[in-house]
Amino acid sequence: MLLKKIKGVFPPHNKNTQFCKARFLPLPAEVCIPMSMHSGTPAKPVVKMGDEVKVGQLIGEAAGFVSAPIHASVSGVVKSINDRDMITGKKATSITIASDGKQELHEGIKLPKANTLQEFLDAVRDSGSAGLGGAGFPTAAKLTIKDIDKLDYILINGAECEPYVTSDTRTMVGGAEYVHQGVQLLKRFINPKKVVICIEDNKLEAINKMKELFDGDDQVDIFILPSMYPQGERKVLVYNVTGRIVPEGARLHDVGCLVMNCTTITVFARYFKLGIPLVQKVVTVDGTAVRTPKNLIAPIGTPIKELFEFCDGFVGEPKKIIAGGPMMGTSLPSLDVPVVKTTNAILAFLEKDVKMPKVTACIKCGRCIGRCPMSLMPVQIEAAYDMKKLELLELHKVNMCVACGCCAYICPAKRPLVQVMQLSKDLLWTEKAAQKAAAQRATEQKAKEGVAI
């Protein structure tokens, strides 16, 4: 049935922390919680300086439909509310809480009640859940779609194809009951024809755990994927598991599918079981500069510096700090940024491992084309970008690039292709916006003249 095989690359797995159970990080002295850890509108602070807060207390309320509420991850006193640097490189309004060390639960915490889909969605929203695979799209907004009851597949993404990162694996093993619970909730309220748990074949422990938990459940399948990057990219996943192609511009549910990260579903599962919203995160701490790689459970807002310190510091001077995996993660300018909802790993590398390679001339070997999971032609896109030919950029569908980095990874000339793709997208976008504005002005002008006559 599958005519076309999706291509990718095979970076060394380096899943060093695969068997490291997630351990609690000692409580940080203070946490700094940004109000925009999800995509969409930032949350609005509902506490003020000097307020006492407790674990799980709402401190930022969802501002709009595509937004998510934010909760205190420690108990203590609000020390400041100001703009702070985030992992993404942007600044965001952040609430700093000085911990009192007691970790008292907020008295308002109670188990949610849900009997209808709407009540379920409200509870999902209240849990603070957002797409923890990296995009951070608010889960409740994602699930609020027309004809959700006609969904064929919900794919639970446990591919974790990025090297080094093992936090999803640990969630599936250590937090298996919540994955189970999350799937049961999805079955109960959304009831898709199938829930498919997708795991790469290098995570046997997680595969066995899931097989054991869902044994005899006809509605749930475990799908074992070959270990290849970017197996966890949502369109790639949908194609490899269901054989369905998501057309350009369409959304996954247009082909009857939905992809949810395996850790995301544990967030609302936990909320249903304990009443505690998303206040902590399993984070893989690894990389060649880290002395003792570990998986840590850190309160959201913990400065990443403390995670490295708990892993016995560095073996040498780190040259590059990455939030996320080495293929798509963001490199950080400092250690003073906090862990956010979407942080699944922080990596530190020694200089010798992250030397910027020398960029040489493109020799048109076509390897970037051979490895692009979206079957784009990065070599042609780069040429089109150099000439600033917008119609060529459109022809070559640069807008469909998922920024997975396979082209730049495989390029023998080490061309900065991901950067070029992004610049091309921006160029197209600004140009289109300018054209639209010009057209708008023209119609307004016409209307004015019409009135004058």
Partner 1 sequence: MSNFSVSTSPHIYDKSTTSRIMLDVLIALIPALIASILIFGARAALVTAVCVASCIIFEWAFLKIVKKPNAITDFSACITGVLLAFNLPVTIPLWQAVFGSAVAIILVKQLFGGLGKNFANPAITARVVMFLAFSVTMTTWVNPVDGITGATPLALIGRGEVAALPGIWDMFIGMRGGSLGETSNLALLLGGAYLLIRRVISWHVPVAFIAVVFLCTAILGQEPVHQIFGGGLFLGAIFMATDYVTSPTTNKGRFIFGIGCGLFTVLFRLYSSYPEGVSFAILLMNILTPYINKFTMSKPLGGVKS
- Indicate the burial class of 444 (C-beta count within 10 angstroms; 0-12, 13-18, 19 or more): exposed
Smallest separation, CB 242 to partner 1 (Å): 13
Nearer to partner 1, 275 or 416 (CB): 416
Smallest separation, CB 418 to partner 1 (Å): 5
Establish how many alpha carbons lie within 13 A of residue 184's alpha carbon, considering only the half-sphere containing its beta carbon. Answer: 12
Q: Please tell me the chain's helix, strand, coil percentages from 3-state DSSP, rounded to the nearest 5.
A: 35, 20, 45
Nearer to partner 1, 168 or 382 (CB): 382
Report d(CA 231, CA 201) in Å as an integer.
11
Nearer to partner 1, 54 or 396 (CB): 396
Helix (H) or strand (E) holding 420: helix 417-452
Q: How many whole angstroms from its chain centre is CA 286?
A: 18
Smallest separation, CB 446 to partner 1 (Å): 27
- The single-letter code of the amino acid at 252 is L
- Indicate the burial class of 431 (C-beta count within 10 angstroms; 0-12, 13-18, 19 or more): middle
Report d(CA 271, CA 127) in Å as an integer.
6
The tokens describing 293, both together, are 């790689």
Smallest separation, CB 181 to partner 1 (Å): 34
> Bridge partners of 257?
153
Smallest separation, CB 138 to partner 1 (Å): 24
305's CB contacts (< 8 A; 6+ apart) are 335, 336
Nearer to partner 1, 4 or 48 (CB): 4
Smallest separation, CB 394 to partner 1 (Å): 6
Nearer to partner 1, 218 or 317 (CB): 317
Smallest separation, CB 403 to partner 1 (Å): 7
Residue 304: name the closest of 316, 287, 317, 321 by CA: 321
- Indicate the burial class of 77 (C-beta count within 10 angstroms; 0-12, 13-18, 19 or more): middle
* Angle at which helices 262-274 and 176-189 cross, to 10°: 90
Query: Which residues form the interface with partner 1 (CB under 8 A)?
Result: 4, 6, 9, 11, 163, 235, 239, 245-250, 318-322, 326-335, 349, 354, 356-357, 360-366, 369-370, 372-377, 379-380, 394-397, 400, 403, 405, 408-414, 416, 418-419, 422
Nearer to partner 1, 163 or 175 (CB): 163
Smallest separation, CB 372 to partner 1 (Å): 8
Nearer to partner 1, 361 or 453 (CB): 361
Nearer to partner 1, 365 or 442 (CB): 365
Nearer to partner 1, 290 or 328 (CB): 328
Q: How far is CA 16 from CA 285, 293, 331, 427, in A?
A: 10, 7, 20, 40
Q: Decide if 370 contacts 7 (C-beta within 8 A).
A: yes
Smallest separation, CB 101 to partner 1 (Å): 29
